[in-house]
Amino acid sequence: MSTANGTPPLLEVLRLRKHFPLRGGVLQRIHAWVRAVDDVSFDVYPAETLGIVGESGCGKSTLARLILRLIEPDAGTVRFAGEDVRGASPPRMKRLRRDMQLVFQDPYASLNPRLTIEDAVAFSLLVHGTPRVEARERARAMLGRVGLDPRLYGRRYAHELSGGQRQRVNIARALVLDPRLLVLDEPVSALDKSVQAQVLNLLQELKAERALTYVFISHDLNVIEYVSGRVLVMYLGEVVETGTADALARSPKHPYTQALFASAPSLDPDRRMERPPLAGDPPNPIDPPSGCRFRTRCAFAMPRCAEAPPALRQVGATHEVACYLYEAEAAVAP
């Protein structure tokens, strides 16, 4: 599926699926399903950053929670370093949780208002049996590493900190367990542009320093391009295109990816609005369109797009796209 450079993937996600039931009425009968994540597969290799991009509501956050088994998938497998995460026994799961951590999107809701940030970071260590004094010491060191002087901030509560500072606490809390994989669910979306850059640079430094592997989820293409080596484009719970960040930026194949790049604000005047940006809202994931889910907003939709969903097809060495436009090798990019 991706760079076959010999090393086994750190994280393998295979045909992962999660549909949420919608219940209603007195008897709480299920009357519809939200197809949040539908047959998503990808691999993440050690030390790389896989970016996952898509509009809000396309299942990115659900995917993050599925990977970490915060919610149980309906089908599919997640393997971490070859080990099946879904089938892990509770003690084994607890061990696995040290190796894969999550940084949350909302810097306000993700910190317990009743804990000092030092205690919030130390909590993860205490859970894994680190003695109290040592846990506090390590938490303080970690806070210092993410740019929050523990002498100034350690005893403060989350509501006394700014959004950027809180996100640093979140990062410290995730990293204090020394994970190998960090899933970042829109880690900078709630922050100002200037603070975003600081936090992104901090994440890049930490990654190099601790040999981390990132799964970086964002709706912001500029952010994704900046941090990712490889990018996965999601639309309504499905993967529509994968490739290196460079390849995607240079020649996006899927009409949705093209629209995403066209609508991303760019500083390069030549790249602005070459194509009409995406019109309308994404269709309701409760009842997605038949066949290709993007066809209702696609400028190139053909009759067959409604019949069956296109499969991911190789269009370059590390570039795959799920679109009928590229079925023939000779297909000309629109």
Partner 1 sequence: MAITTARPDELAARVTAPMSYWRTVAWRLARDPATLVAGAVLVLIVLSAVLAPWLAPYDPNAGSIRLRLAPVGAPAHLLGTDEQGRDMLSRLLWGGRMTLVAALTPVVIGFVLGTGLGVLAGYVGGLTNTLVMRTMDIFYAFPAVLLAIAISGALGPGLPNTLISLSIVFVPRVVRVAESATVQVKSLEYIAAARASGAGVRAIVRHHLLANVLGPILVFASTQVSLSIILAAGLSFLGLGVTPPAAEWGLMLNTLRQSIYVNAVVPALPGLAIFVTSMAFNLLSDGLRDAMEIRA
Q: How far is the CB of 187 from partner 1 (least distance, A)?
A: 12
63 binds partner 1 (CB under 8 A): no
Taking contact as CB under 8 A, which single stretch among the options 36-44, 151-159, 227-235, 313-321 is the one that binds partner 1? 151-159
> Of 99 and 220, which has the nearer Cβ to partner 1?
99
173 binds partner 1 (CB under 8 A): yes
Burial (CB < 10 A; 0-12, 13-18, 19+), residue 187, is: buried
For residues 59 and 61, what is the distance between their CA atoms, to the nearest angstrom? 6
195 binds partner 1 (CB under 8 A): no
22 binds partner 1 (CB under 8 A): no
The footprint of partner 1 on residues 80-139 (CB under 8 A) is 93-95, 97-98, 101-102, 104-106, 109-115, 120, 123-124, 127-128
> Of 101 and 218, which has the nearer Cβ to partner 1?
101
> Of 93 and 317, which has the nearer Cβ to partner 1?
93
How many residues does this entry show for the chain? Answer: 334
- 67, containing H or E segment: helix 60-67
Contact at 8 Å (CB) between 71 and 65? yes
Half-sphere exposure of 160 (CA within 13 A, CB side): 11
Which of these, 174, 172, 222, 169, lies nearest to 196 by C-alpha position? 222
Q: How far is the CB of 104 from partner 1 (least distance, A)?
A: 4
For residues 228 and 184, what is the distance between their CA atoms, to the nearest angstrom? 12
For 294, the token pair is 């993007």
160 binds partner 1 (CB under 8 A): yes
For residues 133 and 138, what is the distance between their CA atoms, to the nearest angstrom? 9
> Of 108 and 300, which has the nearer Cβ to partner 1?
108
> Of 8 and 113, which has the nearer Cβ to partner 1?
113
What are the φ/ψ torsions at residue 213 (nearest 5 degrees)? -115, 130
Q: How far is the CB of 109 from partner 1 (least distance, A)?
A: 5
For residues 234 and 53, what is the distance between their CA atoms, to the nearest angstrom? 6
> Of 68 and 278, which has the nearer Cβ to partner 1?
68
Positions touching partner 1 (CB under 8 A) are 65, 68, 70, 93-95, 97-98, 101-102, 104-106, 109-115, 120, 123-124, 127-128, 155-157, 159-160, 170, 173, 177
